[in-house]
Structure 1
Amino acid sequence: MNARQRRGVLFLLTALALSVAVFVAVSSYVSQVESQVGPKVTVYEVSEPVDAYLPLGASNVRAKEVPRRWASPTAVTSLRELEGRRVGFQLAAGTVVTSDMLIPSTDLSPTEREIAINVDSVTGVAGRVRPGDRVDIIAVFADVPGLPKQARVLVRDVRIVSIGGQQTVTVDTESTVGTAKDVVPVTLALEPKNALSVTYAAAFAQEVRLVALPGDVGANRADEIDEFDAEDLGGRAVPEEAR
């Protein structure tokens, strides 16, 4: 073997040694990364913007694998848990769905109906009510032709089913058009007749307000008044049509 051949063999051996060293280094780095990342878990994110109260399912969510240590403890890991479930606020595309976003499954009695109304920090008792709490619903009628201006108790002792996340809605009034307002949807369990009265008030009353109740409010509330208007202040209530 001449000198030129010996140099070629030496070059090949050097290249082989470098290749082995690079392979070992890369393998070590990958193993180190895998040991830091750990096993992966499947979570679900919305594949497109989802409006509040739209059902979730295979059409608008997709699976995504992430390291378990990076996933939220409340992340939903089964598509079955999402099928038909709803969230109370809008989700942007790519948002990972967690169990605390989902509206609880209904526990209505056969005679109850669910209805959602929007409240703000004032009409919704400043966030102090929670699912399962009981409230009275009071409506303030001020701009309905033919009705005196008055505050009226619509329903007593109503159970709150769920409370959604804050949303921004557009409110049109006589003085302003297109005013943005932050509201929170509150879902209530009501008898059908009461659901109609609350729906009417939500559409036509100047204000619908929740009144939080103590846990031991009791059933005997006969002494509480149901209506209040100008006559209760010593004035005279004048129907709108008489003006």
Structure 2
Amino acid sequence: MKKLILIALAISLIIGFGVYSFAKTLESRTNVETMPVVVAVEKIPKNTVIEASMITTKPFPKEYIHEYSTGKVDDIIGRITLESIEADEQILSTRLIDSSNNSNNLSFSIPQNYRAISVLTDEVSGVAGYISPGDRVDLVAVILNKATGVESQMVAENLEVAEVGDKGNDGKKLYTAVTVLVPDQDVVKVSYALSEGKYRLVLRSLVDEKIVNPAPYVQ
């Protein structure tokens, strides 16, 4: 009988120790230090501008957080994906590109629904070299109208200048091309006006965003 009691006591001690160890393991797991990390809500395709609805923050154990991840959504919104990002995946800075970074390709800085068009210029049509990236310009062209004859038209207004061509090595501000951002619905109209070869860019004030849309001028 004593043997049975000792065996039962030993088994009880073993079971008790096992339960205690399991409880301590659970406790250690619940006490893991976590930090918020920005992850994708769903798969984000390559070359996508990240919007607030595409991302969220989730707690991750500190030891599993990648060094290039972030816990701030503002660090991610507005940037462009260089490759696809899967749902719940940590979003790493190395897989994004900043559209405002001047070292990037021009294509990354073109807004959605816009196209970049280069306009050949000379001293007159290019405002004597005073156009710089970030300026706003209007495009005016002299076009043959079958009904009214030759007329001067305001083809497009308030176009943002994305780039200007090389200004040369002689110190002058002249350039031979200006690249502007054109709304996609105006690309065909602008292309036609440029093909006529009788156009000029008109520099606007940076604080003037008014669209005048004047009637064509006929002599």
TM-score tier after normalising by the smaller chain length: 0.3 to 0.5
* TM-score (norm: length of structure 1): 0.41
